[in-house]
A and B are shown apart, each in its own frame.
Chain A
Amino acid sequence: DAGVTQSPTHLIKTRGQQVTLRCSPKSGHDTVSWYQQALGQGPQFIFQYYEEEERQRGNFPDRFSGHQFPNYSSELNVNALLLGDSALYLCASSPAPGQGPYEQYFGPGTRLTVT
């Protein structure tokens, strides 16, 4: 049973560029959440997708956007990259809301470096 997978593992971008990160949820999960973990910090919630719609959003600017596909996989897009966007981006999956107090399963993350 494959867990949560993310691609790419590492990414180096230049300030002002755009980036797309990808995530495939654990088998049987249909809810995907994205988190940003800056160096030395705890993960910060970006947004959550369920049934191809953004259901909840954290305190992140509109430069951060996402998408969920019919197969439940998801993308995180960041436009106009800033140096401060350098972080580990974590994807987490879980069963649908209302199905119980399930924990979220995290992928290995994508390390984004903005130069």
Chain B
Amino acid sequence: AQSVAQPEDQVNVAEGNPLTVKCTYSVSGNPYLFWYVQYPNRGLQFLLKYITGDNLVKGSYGFEAEFNKSQTSFHLKKPSALVSDSALYFCAVRFPSGFQKLVFGTGTRLLVSP
């Protein structure tokens, strides 16, 4: 069965410092991988995706993610955090064929302090 793990419930980082939000997955084959962000009382906003090719994927708002097939990881990164980045981040996976069910992790709350 497909599963996604986000091992940290919360990540704390000071503004201006680099941030990493971790994600590992357990899926056979070559899944598509996604990161979404959720602000309070809002839906999910798409940040970036990995389909194939370069292991470093760049997305919205300066975020990027590094795909590592051997470690089945897809960690979200940003070189310099902003207070406005504070939100709930979800990693998700889906199979490349057929219909498009997304399997989400439990989410990681990012708190960026001034």
Instruction: List residues of A whose CB falls within 8 A of some B CB.
Output: 4, 6, 31, 33, 35, 40-45, 48, 50, 55-56, 58, 90, 92, 94, 97, 101-109, 111
7 of the cross-chain contacts (CB-CB < 8 Å) are: A40-B106, A41-B107, A42-B106, A43-B44, A103-B34, A103-B46, A108-B41
Residues of B with C-beta under 8 A to A106: 36, 43-46
Task: Please count how many residues in chain B sit with their CB below 8 Å of the partner chain's CB atoms.
Answer: 25
Known: A42-B90, A101-B32, A101-B51. A108 touches B42 (CB 8 A): yes
Find out whether the CB atom of A97 lies under 8 angstroms from the CB atom of B98.
yes
Find out whether the CB atom of A101 lies under 8 angstroms from the CB atom of B96.
yes
Task: List which B57-102 residues lie within 8 A (CB) of chain A.
Answer: 90, 92, 96, 98-102
Find out whether the CB atom of A97 lies under 8 angstroms from the CB atom of B100.
yes
Contact with A along B9-24 (1 / 0, CB 8 A): 0000000000000000
Contact of B99 among A55, A92, A103, A107 (CB under 8 A): A55
Residues of A with C-beta under 8 A to B42: 108-109
Find out whether the CB atom of B51 lies under 8 angstroms from the CB atom of A56.
no
Judge if B25 is at the interface, Cβ distance under 8 Å: no
Find out whether the CB atom of B44 lies under 8 angstroms from the CB atom of A90.
yes
